[in-house]
Amino acid sequence: MPHVVLHLSGPFRAERDGAAIPGLSRRAQGLLAFLACQPGMRAERGAIADLLWSDRSEAQSRASLRQELSVLRKSLKEAIKADRHCVWMDIEQFEVRRGAETFLEGFDLASEGFEDWLRERRQADEVAAAPLTARRDERPALAVLPFDEIGASEADMFVDGIVEEITGALGRSRDFDVIARQSAFMLRGQNLPIPEIAKKLGTEYLLEGSVQRAGERVRISVQLVSGADGRTRWSRRFDDRMDDLFDLQDRIAAHVAGQLSPNLRAAEILRARGHPPEVRSAYDLVLTAMPHFWVHDPAENRRAIEFLDRALEKDPDSAHALAMKAWCHAHECCYLWSLPTNMARAASRAAFDRALPRAQDHSATVTALSAAAALALKDFPTSEDLARRALELDPNNAWAWLRLGWVAVYLGRAEEGLAHFDRAEELSPLDPFLFNIEFGRSAAVRTQGRFEEAVALIEKGLRAAPKAHWAYRMLFGTLWLMGEHDRAIAAGRKWLAAHPNLSTETLIEGLPSWNHDPEYLKVLSAFDQIIPRGR
């Protein structure tokens, strides 16, 4: 996978593998810089066309954009993508670096729209500027602002109850600090700009919202905004019924908290990538590792480990970095990315043992330890205890529900596992690990003999995560049990292509042990059909 680095501080530079990318026009550079600053590195076609060719008609500017994208793809291949509505950069293939120098220093473009955007961007940098050497290591801070209630009397306390529940639910997460509700309410009615509110409250992010009721229906809209420039980082609308007031408040708070956490993490990842690696804090480096970790690809997983090692160089006692390192090494042995698996298993155990006494009340850290316990240590009772502890700390942690689902399947409780997977997806419907939820569901329904459904779920997960080649071993086993031996062998060979030196002994050593499953031994013996004897 190509790795493109964009330098946006000082003069614009685009590099691949340390070498400058040739042939980028001025507008192509402006396009890349603009996309790099957008949430998810994505923007609408119309907005880009108007930005870069503001002196032309809509039809002309859109035609110019099509031509520019055609040329740009020759340099960046699949790293730049587009459909009829949007243009975006593959976030896994780009790293954006920012420093103390002026944003796009010396850059100009004969387009009034772009020049206005560039000026606003530089002004926002000045507002948010702080010495890079003084960068903090603590978690980001968030404040929940009073919501607007449309069509209600001033004496109606319903919306205040919603805000209080959301603030409380978010406060259970240890991925960010939540400002006390009373501090945020002190600014009610002052109509201050977002950057000024954020400065007064000392927060990086603000959560805004509105509530509208019509009979028995209620609609709640929320959006996460950046305190530095007021840009929207995430928004969502929730529709529900006015049944039991307290149940409604609990439901809405859980939905908001569950979906906000991964989106806030995504915003923090983009922020961390905007600073040169040498000045990133341990916290930033853990964030930088995340997109590489969840791809489920051996090369990307090792890159994640590199970032985690750099985080531990800055903070050797970082429980989160240690736990994530244990999880990454667990992937190395469970998915047979490192052969033989004993070194990866030992590395996971060492990081696990160091992280466990330091985990304290950080739900994400405890979740990572739960994963390592199952995948590397093959200790399912401990994995379950840790997943439940993570959910006691933060009931809205989607990854903890995912791990609890997997351990339930490992222990033969398929229906319970399916319920946990449903809860994980409900809390985080666009989660980067959604494919692993599908794989978990497949494992659960396979133990119930629902083979066709299990195959469909694996294939759905592979479409979402085509680099997760390890899932072909699941596909092999399921098809074999169905009696579809030719299809099974074809899937097994796809998996074996990524593990050319695999032996049956190494396979058994790497896999979690599903001793409760009577079909387990059948699948293991069937691997002789694709692994030559004598290995």
Using CA atoms, how far residue 167 sits from 68, 173, 253, 254, 495, in Å, is 45, 10, 8, 10, 46
Residue 301: the pLDDT is: 94
Residue 525: the pLDDT is: 66
| Whole-prediction pTM | 0.66
Indicate the range of 66-70, 153-157, 503-507 predicted with least confidence.
153-157
Q: In which band, very low, low, confident or very high, does the pLDDT at 181 lie, cut at 50, 70 and 90?
A: low
Retrieve residue 188's tokens.
Answer: 């009610």
Q: In which band, very low, low, confident or very high, does the pLDDT at 27 lie, cut at 50, 70 and 90?
A: very high
Question: Omega of the bond prior to 340 within 30 degrees of 0, cis?
Answer: yes
- Mean pLDDT calculated for residue range 252-281: 78
| Three-class secondary structure of residue 75 per DSSP | helix
- Residues with Cβ within 8 Å of 130's Cβ and at least 6 positions away in sequence, in order, are none
Asked whether the predicted pLDDT for residue 197 surpasses 60, the reply is: yes
| Residue 11 near residue 106, CB atoms below 8 Å | yes
pLDDT tens digits for range 232-246: 888 888 888 777 666
Report which of residues 313 and 241 the model is more confident about: 313
Residue 495: the pLDDT is: 84
Q: Look at residues 101, 104, 108, 106 and name the one whose alpha carbon lies nearest to residue 129.
A: 101
Half-sphere exposure of 71 (CA within 13 A, CB side): 15
Q: Taking CA 21 as the corner, what is the angle to CA 18 and CA 27, rounded to the nearest 5 degrees?
A: 135
Residue 517: the pLDDT is: 62
Q: Look at residues 26, 24, 4 and name the one whose alpha carbon lies nearest to residue 16.
A: 4
Q: List 239's β-bridge partners, or say none.
A: 219
CB atoms < 10 A from the CB of 163, how many?
A: 21
- The sign of the torsion formed by the CA atoms of 470, 474, 477, 482 equals negative
Retrieve residue 77's tokens.
Answer: 């291949």
Helix axes 245-273 and 282-293, enclosed angle (nearest 10): 100
Q: List 238's β-bridge partners, or say none.
A: 220
Q: Which domains does the chain have, with CATH numbers?
A: 4-129 (no CATH), 141-268 (3.40.50.10070), 280-387 (1.25.40)
Residue 534: the pLDDT is: 45
Q: In which band, very low, low, confident or very high, does the pLDDT at 384 lie, cut at 50, 70 and 90?
A: very high
CB atoms < 10 A from the CB of 136, how many?
A: 12
Report which of residues 388 and 492 the model is more confident about: 388
Q: In which band, very low, low, confident or very high, does the pLDDT at 293 lie, cut at 50, 70 and 90?
A: very high
**Pairing relation of β-strands 141-144 and 177-178?**
parallel
Report which of residues 140 and 449 the model is more confident about: 449
Residue 521: the pLDDT is: 59
Using CA atoms, how far residue 248 sits from 156, 161, 240, in Å, is 16, 10, 8
- Mean pLDDT calculated for residue range 46-57: 90
Mean pLDDT, rounded, of the chain:
84
- Mean pLDDT calculated for residue range 413-433: 90
**Pairing relation of β-strands 4-7 and 13-16?**
antiparallel
- First vs last Cα of the chain: how many Å apart? 31
